[in-house]
Amino acid sequence: MNKLVIYIDLGLKDYKETWDYQEMLFKSIIATKIRNRREELTLETTNYLLFVEHPHVYTLGKSGDMGNLLIDEAQLEAKGATFYKINRGGDITYHGPGQIVGYPILDLDNFFTDIHKYLRFLEEVVILTLQEYGLKAERSEGETGVWLDVGTPFARKICAMGVRASRWVTMHGFALNVNADLGYFDLMIPCGIKDKAVTSLNVELGKKEVAMDEVKEKLLKHFSVLFEAEFIKEKTEA
């Protein structure tokens, strides 16, 4: 039987507002699990998948190096960007318009209790989606996310990834560059990796723009198959 996942497309939304919303959902799932254990109940936990685009923002993970952000506060403001230190793994990441950011907030007790498998499945969702556009996307050993031309001088990242998990509940997720302004990546050392480039789906396809909704549908399709999930689409925004 497929697991139910509530899917919410938040559109273009401020990073901090979305982070707060994630935290609320994340904590509500954990609270249910704690209550189940304490009171010997069997209340069902709810699973969510959020898709969102953010205004220009840089985020730094718990183990990140502040030196990987190459501009100061005044330059950030001039670029119309914001910056946050956050509670996911990984180093520095950029989010902005033209990028599909996916935040699965799942109780892995409903799926499988294996973080390694969870990360590989998220990567596979993106790999299979890009395959539909004729791109051979891959994992790069020792590096998170999804890449093109791995093992060559032309290796470039197209999807960043960083997650947090507690009591088998997940938050944060992946960021797939679809129509991203790649100039913003020049203002940081992406994920702390100095010798690798970053790319976007529209660049790889030689197009001005790729339909975001079409990419979202493909991501949902592959997520549904890999995670054996059935989506309940909600229009309500945070």
| Residue boundaries of the structural domains of the chain | 3-234
The pLDDT of residue 237 is above 80: no
Q: Which residue, among 192, 221, 33, 8, has the nearest Cα to 132 in the 3D structure?
A: 221
Catalytic residue among 122, 189, 191, 229: 191
Please state, for a pLDDT cut of 90, what percent of the chain lies above it.
76
Q: What integer pLDDT is reported at residue 236 of this predicted model?
A: 55
Q: What integer pLDDT is reported at residue 60 of this predicted model?
A: 86
pLDDT digits (tens, 9 = 90+) for 139-169: 998 888 999 999 999 999 999 998 999 999 9
Average pLDDT over residues 85-113: 92
Q: What integer pLDDT is reported at residue 43 of this predicted model?
A: 95
Residue 191 is among the residues annotated as catalytic for this protein: yes
Least confident of 4-18, 69-83, 116-130: 69-83
The pLDDT of residue 186 is above 90: no
pLDDT digits (tens, 9 = 90+) for 215-226: 999 999 999 999
Average pLDDT over residues 109-133: 97
The C-alpha atoms of residue 147 and residue 217 are separated, in whole angstroms, by 21
Homologous superfamily of the 3-234 domain (CATH): Bira Bifunctional Protein; Domain 2 (3.30.930.10)
Tell me the sheet residues that pair with 4. 230
pTM (global) more than 0.95: no
Specify the 3-state DSSP secondary structure of 125: helix
**What angle do the packed helices 212-226 and 115-131 form, to 10 degrees?**
140
Q: Which residue, among 123, 222, 102, 84, has the nearest Cα to 174 in the 3D structure?
A: 102
pLDDT digits (tens, 9 = 90+) for 40-62: 999 999 999 999 999 999 988 87
Strands (E), the chain: 3-12, 48-53, 57-60, 82-85, 92-95, 99-105, 137-140, 143-148, 156-166, 169-177, 197-198, 229-234
Cβ atoms 109, 99 nearer than 8 A: no
Annotated binding-site ranges for substrate: 88-95, 160-162, 173-175
Q: What integer pLDDT is reported at residue 181 of this predicted model?
A: 94
The C-alpha atoms of residue 69 and residue 57 are separated, in whole angstroms, by 11
Average per-residue pLDDT for the chain:
92
Least confident of 164-168, 196-200, 203-207, 232-236: 232-236
Average pLDDT over residues 184-194: 72
Q: What integer pLDDT is reported at residue 201 of this predicted model?
A: 98
| 215 CB-contact burial (10 Å; exposed 0-12 / middle 13-18 / buried 19+) | buried
Annotated binding-site ranges: 88-95, 160-162, 173-175
pLDDT digits (tens, 9 = 90+) for 18-44: 999 999 999 999 999 999 999 999 999
